[in-house]
Amino acid sequence: MALEQACIEIMPKPWGSTELLPWSPANDAGVPIGELWFQRRTPDAPEPALLLKLLFTQEVLSIQVHPGDDDAKAMGLPHGKSEAWYVLSAAADAMVGVGLKSVLTPTQLRAAIANGSIADLVAWRKAVKGDVIVVPAGTIHAIGPGLVLAEIQQRSDTTFRLFDHGRARELHVEQGVSVADAGPAERQAPAQRLSDVRSVLAVNPHFILERLDLPAGSIWELEATHESWLAAIAGNAAIGELEVGIGQGCFIEDETVRVAAGRDGFSCLLAYDAATPDRDIIHRVDTDGASAPPAFVRSPVPFAQVRS
């Protein structure tokens, strides 16, 4: 059983930003920060299955790919890395690249990496606030400048860089080619509204990502039977004995906690270690303290990822 305020680990990156407000205090050091990782406070706790983080991009990231579970285990790694992004803010010209425009053979992919044409073969698309992008392991992808993203992923830092736009960083061409699904990305299911306060944004065999929008002054019970990570994106709330505001988060596992939305309401991302959405994860609490059953807009339809 656990309820912990998340520690924030700062990760400088060459493509990062010096402007982190309102998600983090002002960056007085002037060093570009690319990622803020949400970590557990308990130093001897078991390693979580998931990693939640915020990304800040001032330059384009490398074109990269992550291994799936089978490829990772064949390399002696514990598991692969599938991820999903939620766009918190986006410049007018912000873009993300997910998958390729057409299928390439390994030989064609190596050639495109060598001559730099892979930058034009990536399927780039405009990104706007509120977008959800699911990136299964094996999908070639990249993130452009001008974005703040929340990312949930399998807890792995295994990244194979295929092309880095002239930066003097190591590439991992052969490893990347060996694990890449070098073609168009899978078509993802749209976000689904489960109730007045719940939207399921992404479903993956390794995690669920939801958005909760709780009205001002409302009180809820969150039943976190799975490893769960919460990140505040608007307003504030009391979560158990914790106070959580924009850019802050918490770790919850095997715990039922009271969530009291602040006077401006409370919106958060909730990610948990499950393969299907948990219908009973949150209930509104009546004024007499009783837990009211959730009122679903409609019965959830199983999510599926289908190839376009």
The reported pLDDT for the residue numbered 134 is 97
Poorest-pLDDT segment among 22-26, 91-95, 106-110, 211-215: 22-26
What DSSP element (H or E) covers 53? strand 50-57
Whether 192-307 and 60-187 are alike in CATH topology: the answer is yes
Is 110 designated active site? no
299: confidence class by pLDDT, cuts 50, 70, 90: very low
Instruction: Place domain 60-187 in its CATH homologous superfamily.
Output: Jelly Rolls (2.60.120.10)
Domain edges within the chain? 60-187, 192-307
Mean pLDDT across 163-177: 94
Does the structure show a pLDDT above 90 at 303?
no
User: For 90-111, how does the pLDDT look when each residue is reduced to its tens digit (9 = 90+)?
Assistant: 999 999 999 999 999 999 999 9
User: Among the options 110, 125, 155, 161, which is catalytic?
Assistant: 161
3-state secondary structure of 94: coil
284 strand-pairing partners: 220
Cα 39 to chain centroid, rounded: 14
The reported pLDDT for the residue numbered 281 is 95
Q: What is the mean pLDDT of the chain?
A: 91
Does the structure show a pLDDT above 60 at 304?
no
Query: For residues 36 and 7, what is the distance between their CA atoms, to the nearest angstrom?
Result: 10
User: For 218-263, how does the pLDDT look when each residue is reduced to its tens digit (9 = 90+)?
Assistant: 999 999 999 999 999 999 999 999 999 999 999 999 999 999 999 9
The reported pLDDT for the residue numbered 308 is 26
Query: For residues 87 and 129, what is the distance between their CA atoms, to the nearest angstrom?
Result: 5
What's the CATH fold of domain 192-307?
Jelly Rolls (2.60.120)
The reported pLDDT for the residue numbered 295 is 41
Say if strands 228-239 and 219-224 run parallel, antiparallel, or are unpaired: unpaired
Does the structure show a pLDDT above 90 at 289?
no
Check whether the bond before 293 is cis (ω within 30° of 0).
no
CB atoms within 10 A of CB 218: 15
Cα 225 to chain centroid, rounded: 20
The fraction of the chain above a pLDDT of 70, given in percent, is 92
Check whether the bond before 22 is cis (ω within 30° of 0).
yes
Poorest-pLDDT segment among 18-22, 26-30, 75-79, 255-259: 26-30
User: For 262-285, how does the pLDDT look when each residue is reduced to its tens digit (9 = 90+)?
Assistant: 999 999 999 999 999 999 999 999
What DSSP element (H or E) covers 95? strand 95-100
Query: For residues 248 and 233, what is the distance between their CA atoms, to the nearest angstrom?
Result: 8
Query: For residues 163 and 166, what is the distance between their CA atoms, to the nearest angstrom?
Result: 8
Query: For residues 231 and 266, what is the distance between their CA atoms, to the nearest angstrom?
Result: 11
